[in-house]
């Protein structure tokens, strides 16, 4: 009975090189995999693992997603002219993984909105 061929092991350098090539604009995972004599499913697996580890894409200047500190004024500035309509609410649209939310919060409670948002993004 013939024995199974040994499973190939790939170096971290090769994985980084392949993933960087996949991150290039207009790159095809299948074409990159073929150029490196790899199965496209394996390259997709490496990409999913990298995404699960939340590592930034290699070769891009785009920062990894994360918390962005926003400074809010201690008190809302008084308007120069009083208006008859109330201030527009704070509107935030957030997409995180498969979760999508739209938030509408009164401007008068901006500090509470910031605290809620900070907790939600943890």
pLDDT at 73 over 90: no
Handedness of CA 4, 9, 14, 18 (dihedral sign): positive
Nearest to 56, CA basis, from 109, 17, 108, 19 = 19
Distances (CA, A) of 19 to 23, 27, 32, 45, 66: 6, 10, 9, 11, 21
The average confidence (pLDDT) of the chain is: 79
Predicted confidence band of residue 61 (pLDDT cuts 50, 70, 90) = low
- Structure confidence by residue, pLDDT tens digits, 7-43: 888 998 999 999 999 988 899 999 999 999 999 999 9
Would you list the domain boundaries of the chain? 12-52, 67-75+87-122
Handedness of CA 59, 62, 67, 70 (dihedral sign): positive
Supply the pTM of this predicted model. Answer: 0.42
Q: What is the DSSP letter of 109?
A: G
| Cα distance between residue 105 and residue 91, in whole Å | 6
């Amino acid at each position: 009975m013939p024995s199974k061929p040994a499973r190939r092991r790939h170096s971290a350098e090769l994985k980084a090189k392949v993933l960087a090539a996949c991150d290039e604009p207009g790159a095809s995972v299948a074409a990159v995999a073929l150029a490196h004599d790899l199965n496209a499913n394996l390259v997709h697996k490496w990409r999913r693992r990298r995404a699960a580890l939340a590592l930034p894409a290699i070769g891009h200047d785009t920062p990894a997603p994360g918390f962005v500190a926003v400074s809010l004024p201690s008190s809302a500035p008084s308007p120069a002219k009083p208006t008859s309509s109330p201030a527009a609410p704070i509107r935030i649209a957030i997409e995180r993984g498969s979760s999508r939310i739209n938030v509408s919060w009164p401007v008068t409670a901006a500090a509470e909105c910031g605290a809620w948002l900070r907790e939600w993004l943890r």
